[in-house]
Amino acid sequence: MATDLKKLENRLWKAADNLRANSTLSSFEYSTPVLGLIFLRYAWHRFTPLHEKMEKETSSRVTIGPDHYKAEGVLYLPEEARYPELLQLPENEDIGQKVNEAMEAIERENPELADVLPKEYKRFDDPVLKDLLKNFSNVGTDVEGDVFGQIYEYFLGQFAMNEGQKGGEFFTPTSIVKLIVEVLEPYGGKILDPACGSGGMFVQSERFRQRHKKNGQDSVRTRHGASQQATSQRNLSIYGQENKESTVRLCKMNLAVHGLEGDIKAGNTYYENLHDCVGRFDYVMANPPFNVSGVDKEAIEGDPRYPFGIPNTDNANYLWMQEFYSALKDPETSSGQGGRAGFVMANSAADARHSEQAIRKQMIEEGGVDVIISIGSNFFYTVTLPCTLWFFDKGKKELPETDIESVRTPREVGASPQAEGEDSGNENISIQGSNTVLFIDARNIYRQIDRAHRDFTDRQLDFIANIVRRYRGEDLDSVRESVRTSHGMSQQAENDELAKAAEEGKEYKANGSAITQPDDMDELFPDGQYRDIPGLCKVATIEEIEEQGWSLNPGRYVGVAEREEDDVDFKVRLEQLHEELELLNSEANGLEDQISENIQGILNQA
């Protein structure tokens, strides 16, 4: 059973409280040393089985060195940096000095970590460090996902509350990262995160690649004319940028314990194009800071990373979008496939007006906007607001247009395709075209961890991602299912965790139709092909999006889910009402503009 993350966080926080009480450092200053000890413990867990195997299988004439471990994707630990050595230090030893020396030894043997690891342990009393080492020796090492990022984010929230600061910095929750990865499908190539934080996007992308490689699913049929088998034969080349040096070090530590390396640089992404980004990358993924103000627009005027222009509003959301879009490879330079991007964005960006609307219009008309997914509230620890996932696909621009009416055949849920005269064969039918965008409203799909936190189960991730694959005409992903089976989890147990509406048995309604998400997704897609489902998903054409004022808010297209008022948290409900108010305000503004144009037209004719 995987380690209970909540218990882990609580134990780490108690340890941090003890450390703070016995030092003169602020909470932010001692967070990195604590993470450094977890780094040592997690690295030791990965190192131990390979070390024992090599000692048994390697001849005495062969000297085992760091390169042997690196070839297996494992960080090499010199003897003085191995966790048991530190844990067994006597009470009279200078433990702070020994931990510092352990960090220095790791950096010597692993040059990619030079000046990355913390070395401030002499500032703490030895008894405190001894207690911390003992505490972390019991930390489970089967925690899945970006464990450093999750702990880092949890600490930030606690520190901000303790010091009266706004907890505005947060990492991307693992389940959100996984969903982005599943939609992007990074089988191999160059990957960029220009706001990389603790590096969780890179970790999950490599896990996706390895999972599919091991299960032999190295190619995916697409409408782009060629499979992605060519990219699946390559490794992922990792490139990242982050404004804060301390976060860059955290990212490099995270990559190291997962056996990865990357070119991670410190710099302000708005002004510094440190990776010469334009047109270079197969994949871009990010969780940028929302609604940033104060960017010096004169300093970025004419920058090729912003091809659709600089927005007039004091908001950087549409700078980030262009940063992601311009970094993608064009189809003509990448065997016709083009690059894909996936990122987290504030809900308000989907309906932003004026110069931001003009930029959005250009991106939509160019054909690169592929999928938009609404995510509910409470997925982040330190902020409760809902968000939207955007996906670009430059290869989609080369596809023929889709005759959307020819694929919109009304069908009752559960109806037999043969009864409607349809072929129920295995041929994948793609709806994706240069003139289409897929909208998914996933706000009613989640697992409630506790009152304030939600995530996705693996089956929920499969459910959402396979909607996208059906839309693209790709083979459905069966890898995650095979992984679950190999781990011994029963199918019934998995079915019990399947995506449900807000509560078990509750229905959600949209456009006059009510559905309850079934245990078997084929009940929603009876012939195995994509279909629009009111309240869940819809494919819209560019013409339909234009009719909606170039809005990319999924609620305008799939229908807004009705929610019962009973037992709803007031703050969550208020956020939902505020979101609906913003949508209505946007529609009102559009009507005002239309009325103004009509009046002006009448006056011009008078």
Q: Is the residue at 501 inside a domain?
A: yes
Taking only the tens place, the pLDDT of each residue in 128-137 is: 888 888 877 8
Could you tell me which residue, 113 or 606, shows the higher pLDDT? 113
- Write down the H helix ranges in 185-242: 200-214, 229-232
Find all residues with CB under 8 Å of 441, minimum gap 6, and list them. 373, 374, 510, 535, 536, 537, 554, 555, 558, 559, 560, 561
Q: Is the pLDDT of residue 438 over 90?
A: yes
Q: For 148-198, how does the pLDDT look when each residue is reduced to its tens digit (9 = 90+)?
A: 556 655 665 566 455 543 333 446 788 899 999 999 999 999 999 999 988
Better-predicted residue by pLDDT, 228 or 311 = 311
The residue that leads in pLDDT, 71 or 218, is 71
Q: Which candidate, 437, 282, 279, places its Cα nearest to that of 360? A: 437
Is 64 found in the same domain as 53? yes
Please say whether the dihedral angle defined by the alpha carbons of residues 335, 341, 342 and 347, taken in this order, is positive or negative: negative
When pLDDT is cut at 50, 70 and 90, the band that residue 524 belongs to is confident
Asked, for residue 150, whether it belongs to a domain, the answer is no
One domain, residues 585 and 445: no
**pLDDT on residue 126:** 86
479: domain CATH number? 3.40.50.150
The average pLDDT across 92-115 equals 92
Parallel/antiparallel/unpaired status of strands 340-345 and 283-286:
parallel
Q: Are residues 402 and 442 in the same domain?
A: yes
Quote the pLDDT of residue 165.
Answer: 38
DSSP characters for 465-515?
HHHHHHHHTPPP--HHHHHHHHTT--HHHHHHTS--SSSTT--EEETTEEE
Q: Check whether residue 192 and residue 108 sit in a common domain.
A: no
The pLDDT value given to residue 140: 60
Same domain, 555 and 572: no
Q: How far is the C-alpha of 267 from the C-alpha of 243, rounded, in Å? A: 5
Q: Are residues 299 and 315 in the same domain?
A: yes
Q: Is the pLDDT of residue 408 over 70?
A: yes
pLDDT tens-digit map of 30-55: 778 888 888 888 888 888 888 888 88
- Give the integer Cα–Cα distance in Å for 78 and 80: 6
Give domain status of residue 219, yes or no. yes
CA 370 to chain centre: 16
Residue 540 resides in a domain: yes
Q: What's the pLDDT at 500? A: 34
Q: Of 291, 447, 290, 287, which Cα lies nearest the Cα of 376? A: 447
Where does 171-314 have alpha helices with state H?
174-184, 200-214, 229-232, 245-257, 297-300
pLDDT at position 517: 43
Task: Mark whether 55 and 178 lie in a shared domain.
Answer: no
The yes-or-no verdict on residue 221 having pLDDT over 80 is: no
Q: Which amino acid is at 484?
A: R
Please, which pLDDT band fits residue 561 given cuts at 50, 70 and 90?
very low
- Choosing from 89, 120, 143, the residue where a domain stops is 143
Looking at the fold, whether 355 and 449 belong to one and the same domain comes out as yes
The span from the CA of 360 to the CA of 369, in Å, is: 9
96 pLDDT higher than 90: yes
Task: Judge if 178 and 88 occupy the same domain.
Answer: no
Do 467 and 556 fall within a single domain?
yes
Q: Are 47 and 74 in contact (CB under 8 A)?
A: yes
Residues 83 and 232 in one domain: no
Give dist(CA 240, CA 97) in Å, integer.
Answer: 32
Quote the pLDDT of residue 395: 93
Residue 157 lies in a domain: no
Averaged pLDDT for residues 326-342: 86
Residue labelled with tokens 């640089």: 265
Counting beta carbons within 10 angstroms of the beta carbon of residue 255, is it exposed (0 to 12), middle (13 to 18) or buried (19 or more)?
buried
d(CA 220, CA 478): 12
Mean pLDDT of 78-102: 93
In a domain, 165, yes or no: no
In a domain, 166, yes or no: no
Q: Which two tokens stand for residue 273?
A: 């194009």
Among 122, 143, 164, the domain boundary falls at 143
Burial of 246 (0-12, 13-18, 19+ CB in 10 A): middle
pLDDT higher than 90, residue 3: no
pLDDT of the residue at 59: 67
* Residue 265: pLDDT band with limits 50, 70, 90: very high
Q: Which residues contact 165 (CB under 8 A, 6 or more apart)?
A: 159
pTM for this prediction: 0.79
Instruction: List the domain range (segments joined by +) for residue 593.
Output: 565-606
Count CA within 13 A, CB hemisphere, residue 342: 23
pLDDT band at 509 (very low <50, low <70, confident <90, very high): very low
What's the structural domain count of the chain?
Answer: 3
Q: What is the dihedral of CA 181, 183, 187, 192, to 10 degrees?
A: -50
| Amino acid in position 91 | E
User: Band of the pLDDT at 422, cuts 50, 70, 90?
Assistant: very low
Average pLDDT on 437-460 reads: 85
| The pLDDT of residue 342 is above 90 | yes
| Residue 519 reports pLDDT greater than 60 | no
Q: Are residues 367 and 390 in the same domain?
A: yes
| Cα distance between the two ends of the chain | 77
Of 559 and 299, the structure prediction assigns the larger pLDDT to 299
- Residue 142's pLDDT band, with cuts at 50, 70 and 90, is low
Instruction: Let me know if residue 465 belongs to a domain.
Output: yes
DSSP state of 401: P
Q: Specify the DSSP element, H or E, that contains 242.
A: strand 236-242
What CATH number corresponds to the domain at position 122?
A: 1.20.1260.30
